[in-house]
Amino acid sequence: MLRQTSVLVSCMLAFFMVIPPATARADSYGAIAYSPRTGSTGWSYSFDTRVGAERRAMQGCTSHARDCRIAIWFVNACGALSVGSSGWGSGWGSDRARAEYEANRSCSGQTRGCRVIRWQCSGAR
């Protein structure tokens, strides 16, 4: 009985050593850029790096305005931009609703009449 158990354990170990480990999902970055002067936005999603996501968001925004800045970047998540009468805010979350909530909360700390003008999720969400 002991011999059968050790043979079974050896077979199981060999089996699990042959199976490759689960492949980790690559991170997915996104960003939203904003121009407070013109209201122009740029955004990105599904980038392999933060730098790439921010660069693409800025390209989309600066084609319309020179004062664009990165309002929010996010990885494996969603981001949102909220604008009010005299200010703006941004936020991120695990889904669109949470990102919009955080953006409105951030904006409301500075101004009134905040509303989300842009949201984006990185990857397929």
Q: Digits of tens for pLDDT over the chain (125 positions)?
A: 555 545 544 544 444 444 445 556 789 999 999 999 999 999 999 999 999 999 999 999 988 789 999 999 999 999 999 999 999 999 999 999 999 999 999 999 999 999 999 999 998 54
pLDDT at 13: 45
Q: What integer pLDDT is reported at residue 11 of this predicted model?
A: 44
Contact 34, 88 (CB under 8 A): yes
| Eight-state DSSP code of residue 38 | T
CB 81, CB 69: distance < 8 Å: no
